[in-house]
Amino acid sequence: MAPKKLSPIPPRDQTGTVVKNYRLGEVLGRGSNGVVYKSLNMDTGDVVAIKQLPLHKIPKSELASIMGEINLLNHLDHRNIVKYLANHKTKDFLNIVLEYVENGSLADTVRKFGSLPESLIAVYIEQVLEGLCYLHSEGVIHRDIKGANILTTKEGLVKLADFGVATRLEDGKVKDYDDVAGTPYWMAPEVIEMAPPSTAADVWSVGATIVELLTGAPPYFELAAMPALFRIVQDPHPPIPEDTSPPLRDFLLLCFRKDPATRQP
């Protein structure tokens, strides 16, 4: 029997290629499972972001989860949530077309301009909370709130992005929970201990994100991931940055309550 001929793996950089009626332009970001391109609608002139996922890297078992993310995004409609526009599947890629948010992420903002003042952080976090209130009212937990997943427009409008690990509540509970999701330094203690996630986990991550914007890094970032996770679980609460104003300190302590049932911003 002749050996099975393998399909060639597509080139890593797809800049300049056309998907449907979109031409892919500069790379906006790269992740473990794909690349995001700034793209131009060749019919209307609209600029969008296309998240391109190589199908050869996606196990069939994960494809259903990705299509679930698309379905979830398709049903969300709020000014503080990045807008889903369409998806196009080719032989090599799944292309998710999203609203383009021109200023990039808050993590980018901190890298470019340094730590932010409390007054500006308040402007951003108020909008983050509005987006989260909407998500939670729709029965959705984001599960990966951090500076890299919070985008801003040039007018300072905040958009929550990257719903790759988001999950939907059914009757107030997560159905078929069997994984730990999120990014270590922003994780709530109950998530680390593998309790089923709740909306309170997003609130903890908001607190860690505030510390990130204040100092340039989330709590315990000076540690490797595993020791940081241990400290998140064992410490009464993450360290509050020096010179934090009393109102913000009180707010952070509300976000960092160990008991999810009493945690609120």
Query: Which parts are annotated binding residues?
Result: 51
Domain count, the chain: 2
Candidates 13, 46, 92, 144; catalytic one: 144
Provide DSSP, 131-191. HHHHHHHTTEE----SGGGEEE-TT--EEE---TT-EEEETTEETT-----S-GGG--HHH
Same domain, 181 and 239: yes
Same domain, 94 and 108: no
The DSSP secondary-structure symbol of 256 reads T
Asked whether the predicted pLDDT for residue 60 surpasses 70, the reply is: yes
Closest residue by Cα to residue 138 from 71, 191, 196, 85: 71
Same domain, 48 and 173: no
Same domain, 151 and 251: yes
Contact 191, 184 (CB under 8 A): no
Same domain, 148 and 240: yes
In a domain, residue 115? The reply is yes
Contact 88, 20 (CB under 8 A): yes
Lookup result for tokens 């909407």: 134
Confidence of residue 5 (pLDDT cuts 50, 70, 90): very low
Residue 105 tokens, joined: 């992420």
Confidence of residue 174 (pLDDT cuts 50, 70, 90): low
Is 92 labeled as catalytic in the residue annotation?
A: no
Last residue of a domain, one of 35, 67, 99: 99
Alpha carbons 177 and 200: distance in angstroms, whole number = 16
Alpha carbons 215 and 110: distance in angstroms, whole number = 9
Same domain, 140 and 62: no
Helices vs. strands in the chain: H and E counts, helices first: 7, 11
In a domain, residue 7? The reply is no
Q: Tell me how far CA of residue 49 lies from CA of 19, 60, 105, 124, 241, in angstroms.
A: 12, 25, 13, 22, 35
Provide DSSP, 91-147. SSEEEEEEE--TT-BHHHHHHHH-S--HHHHHHHHHHHHHHHHHHHHTTEE----SG
pLDDT the model gives residue 61: 73
Alpha carbons 15 and 23: distance in angstroms, whole number = 8
Same domain, 185 and 165: yes
Mean pLDDT over each residue of the chain, to the nearest integer: 89
Q: 63: helix, coil or strand?
A: helix
List the CATH number of the domain containing 47.
3.30.200.20
Containing structural domain, residue 190: 104-262
Alpha carbons 12 and 237: distance in angstroms, whole number = 42
Confidence of residue 175 (pLDDT cuts 50, 70, 90): low
In a domain, residue 121? The reply is yes
The DSSP secondary-structure symbol of 3 reads P
Same domain, 183 and 228: yes
Same domain, 124 and 246: yes
Q: Report the phi/psi class of residue 243: left, alpha or beta, with left for phi > 0 and alpha for psi in -120 to 50.
A: left
pTM for the whole thing?
Answer: 0.88
Same domain, 40 and 127: no
Same domain, 202 and 117: yes
In a domain, residue 12? The reply is no
Last residue of a domain, one of 77, 99, 121: 99
pLDDT the model gives residue 6: 45
Same domain, 115 and 234: yes
Query: Which parts are annotated binding residues for ATP?
Result: 51
Contacts of 94 (CB under 8 A, 6+ apart): 52, 53, 55, 58, 63, 66, 87
The 10s digit of each residue's pLDDT in 122-160 is 999 999 999 999 999 999 999 999 999 999 999 999 999
In a domain, residue 11? The reply is no
Last residue of a domain, one of 54, 78, 99: 99
List the CATH number of the domain containing 124.
1.10.510.10
Average pLDDT over residues 85-97: 92
In a domain, residue 6? The reply is no
In a domain, residue 2? The reply is no
State what percent of residues in the chain have pLDDT above 70. 91
In a domain, residue 10? The reply is no
Alpha carbons 123 and 23: distance in angstroms, whole number = 35
